[in-house]
Amino acid sequence: RKSPAQQLRTILIGPPGAGKGTQAPRIRDEFCVCHLATGDLLREQIAKKTELGQMAKKIIDAGELVNDEIMVNMIKDQLENNKSCKNGQVTIHPVVVFVLDGFPRTIPQAEKLDAMLETRGEKLDSVVELAIPDQLLISRITGRLIHPASGRTYHKEFQPPRKPMTDDITGEPLIQRSDDNIETLTKRLATYHKQTAPVVNYYKNKSLWVPIDAAQSPNVVWENLRKVFREGPRSS
Ligand code: AP5
């Protein structure tokens, strides 16, 4: 273990391209917490061609949100029955420390998460908003490259792989997400402002909100995030 500053339970909120998927793995690795990304969980279902995956693909490509009940059950299942593999043996254990990425995205999801944590006798430590103007997100999203198996993210210009369209670690091909085009992005941003921006206010009212300027370079954003988790939201 590196530096488990505290029993970290945090949420990253931000529009598409704000850097949630870039920063959350760093939080996971530095603070030894579980990274739960609902977008990645849905894309796993799409890759497996499950019924849920087929339904989710249409919604995701339309830039809309999957139904609250489905998403709440998905997170509940992850928090209660997370599977990890140690020495080749799969163990199932509840997740007690986590960074949530992409959840909650609506007020009902936030309320259900509160109820879930209360039942478990747990509380959130902070909710970090990765704040960034919409106009900076277009180039981030249209230039993004993904390694589907690991979720590793690159950017054609800002964070290019060593070899074009190839994952640095495995040498496997990189892809672009089907929702990473201007038309769908415009809808995703509209959905964010309408349905997810109110969630930021919800957490402001609970004094959990910590804003971070996400328009800076990934390393500067990371240093600021680290300070929040090492020193606690109020001293940042
Ligand atoms: P999801 O996968 O969560 O997508 P999203 O919120 O649109 O966020 P992104 O993954 O696009 O952006 P990010 O903030 O992770 O950016 P990244 O770090 O990769 O959800 C997809 C869909 O699933 C939703 O639209 C919805 O339909 C559905 N869904 C998911 N959760 C749901 C829920 N709870 N309820 C209902 N529906 C749900 O960065 C982007 C690019 O920029 C990368 O190439 C990166 O290298 C680069 N970059 C990152 N940081 C910087 C920086 N500081 N400077 C320069 N470049 C940077």
Q: Among 54, 30, 32, which Cα is nearest to 43's? A: 54
- 188 part of the active site: yes
Question: Which of the following is catalytic: 105, 112, 140, 152?
Answer: 105
Q: How many other CB atoms sit within 10 Å of the CB of residue 2?
A: 8
Q: Which atom of ligand 1 is nearest to the CA of 216?
A: 53
pTM comes to: 0.93
Could you give the C-alpha distances from 172 to 25, 157, 163, 218, in angstroms and in order? 20, 19, 11, 24
Per-residue pLDDT of the chain (236 residues; tens, 9 = 90+): 444 445 799 999 999 999 999 999 999 999 999 999 999 999 999 999 999 999 999 999 999 999 999 999 999 999 998 876 566 676 777 788 999 999 999 999 999 999 999 999 999 999 999 999 999 999 999 999 999 888 889 999 999 999 999 999 999 999 999 999 999 999 999 999 999 999 999 999 999 999 999 999 999 999 999 999 987 654 43
Q: Which ipTM value was assigned to this complex? A: 0.97
How many CA atoms does the CB half-sphere of 136 hold within 13 Å? 15
Q: Measuring from each residue's beta carbon to the nearest atom of ligand 1, which residues come in under 6 Å?
A: 14, 16-22, 38-39, 42, 59-60, 64-66, 71, 102-103, 105, 109, 140, 143-144, 153-155, 158-159, 188, 217-218, 221
What end-to-end distance do the CA atoms of the chain give, in Å?
Answer: 24
